[in-house]
């Protein structure tokens, strides 16, 4: 073995020893990926990806539908609250005053929802959307919110549905909901329920005992049309128990139109 070969071998031996020493002395690197929480499966992007796959490969529609059901679908009572008077205040006092009043309303109702095990997943202007474990809790929260906003001279309209819903989450919180009962509850809360009224879909009504302690029905059956379909909905009768402390009920006042009128 030549001197040059010995020098090369000796150099490699020294380099290996230094690497081993540095490896022992250096702090252990923790795999950062192992510290991350499990990947959230019911995100909006995950649903979009599954829907794209369904469109691109129609033959897999049944399997993808089953995956979406397992991954996203949960059963909840869903509540949609609409605050009355936003357009009127905006017209009379300006948009800033209207937004300030909405903030006041939110401050009153959000703690009530939380106290009744509700989870708010969306707030849009004067609407609040939340899910509850049961219809009974959603009704109790509704009556409590009506009482809560009455001293503020505020009024709300509420629709409640119940059933399977596609639940979208972000950062471990619900961020959006899709489903027939979501659509119906929105229609009830935003369009059909009057001031300080609570209305149920047929599916939600089937989850409760409609008779109060005195043996009388607490709900009135109404027939209405939504998107061309005739459906049954139920309106809660105002009772001292449900609306104690709230302002008297009156028909909603006509709101001034904010849409410019064009001549014929």
Q: Which residues pair with 157 in a beta bridge?
A: 82, 197
Name, in order, each residue with C-beta under 8 angstroms of 46's C-beta and a sequence gap of 6 or more.
40, 71
pLDDT in tens, the chain (264 residues): 544 444 444 454 444 444 443 444 444 443 433 334 345 689 999 999 999 999 999 999 999 999 999 999 999 999 999 987 777 777 777 888 888 888 888 999 999 999 999 999 999 988 999 999 999 999 999 999 999 999 988 899 999 999 999 999 998 889 999 999 999 999 999 999 999 999 999 999 999 987 765 566 789 999 998 888 899 999 998 765 455 443 333 333 332 322 333 333
**Spatial distance between the Cα atoms of 118 and 134, rounded to a whole number of angstroms:** 9
DSSP string covering 192-237 = I--TTEEEEEHHHHTTS--B-TTS-B-EEEEEEEETTEEEEEEEEP
State whether residue 223 is helix, strand or coil.
Answer: strand
Task: Let me know if 154 is exposed, middle or buried by CB neighbors in 10 A (0-12, 13-18, 19+).
Answer: buried
Residue linked to tokens 């009379």: 92
**Per-residue model confidence (pLDDT) at position 32:** 38
- For position 229, what pLDDT does the model report? 85
The pLDDT of residue 162: 98
pLDDT the model gives residue 96: 86
Per-residue DSSP letter, 242: H
Q: What pLDDT does 49 receive?
A: 95
**All domains of the chain in start order, with CATH:** 40-67 (no CATH), 72-243 (3.30.70.1230)
In the chain the first and final C-alpha atoms are separated, in Å, by 108
Pairing state of beta strands 156-170 and 197-201?
Answer: parallel
Distance CA 10, CA 7 (A): 5
In sign, the C-alpha dihedral spanning 90, 96, 99, 101 is negative
Place of tokens 């991350």: 36
Do residues 158 and 79 touch, judged by C-beta distance below 8 A?
Answer: yes
Q: Which of 249, 244, 239, 245 is nearest to 213 (CA)?
A: 239
Does the predicted model carry a pTM greater than 0.85? no
User: Going by C-beta distance under 8 Å and a sequence separation of 6 or more, which residues neighbour residue 98?
Assistant: 86, 89, 90
- The runs of H, that is alpha helices, within 57-94 are 61-72, 86-93
Question: What pLDDT was estimated at residue 222?
Answer: 94
CB 234 within 8 A of CB 241: no
- Nearest to 137, CA basis, from 207, 236, 222: 207
Measuring CA to CA, how many Å separate 199 from each of 63, 108, 217, 236, 262? 36, 21, 14, 6, 36
Among 219, 236, 211, residue whose Cα is nearest residue 143? 236
Q: What per-residue confidence (pLDDT) applies to 101? A: 84
């Amino acid at each position: 073995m030549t001197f040059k070969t010995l020098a090369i071998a000796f150099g490699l031996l020294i380099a290996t020893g230094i690497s081993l020493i540095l490896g022992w002395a250096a702090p252990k690197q923790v795999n950062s990926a192992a510290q991350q929480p499990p990947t959230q499966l019911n995100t909006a992007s995950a649903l979009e990806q599954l829907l794209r796959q369904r469109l691109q490969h129609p033959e897999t529609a049944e399997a993808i539908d089953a995956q979406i059901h397992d991954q996203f679908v949960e059963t909840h009572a869903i509540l949609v609250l609409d605050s009355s008077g936003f357009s009127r205040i905006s017209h009379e006092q300006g948009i800033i005053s209207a937004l300030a009043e909405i903030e006041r309303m939110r401050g009153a109702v959000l703690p009530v929802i939380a106290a009744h095990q509700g989870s708010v997943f969306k707030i849009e202007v004067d609407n609040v959307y939340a899910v509850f474990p049961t219809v009974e809790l959603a009704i109790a929260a509704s009556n409590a919110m009506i009482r809560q906003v009455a001293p503020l001279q505020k009024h709300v309209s509420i629709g409640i549905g119940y059933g399977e819903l596609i639940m979208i989450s972000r950062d471990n919180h619900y961020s959006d909901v899709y489903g027939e009962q979501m659509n119906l509850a929105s229609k009830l809360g935003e369009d059909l329920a009057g001031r300080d009224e609570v209305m149920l879909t047929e599916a939600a009504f089937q989850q409760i005992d409609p008779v109060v302690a005195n043996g009388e029905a607490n709900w009135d059956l109404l027939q209405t049309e939504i998107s061309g379909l005739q459906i049954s909905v139920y309106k809660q009768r105002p009772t001292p128990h449900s609306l104690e402390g709230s302002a008297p009920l009156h028909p909603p006042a006509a709101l001034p139109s904010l849409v410019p009128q064009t001549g014929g």
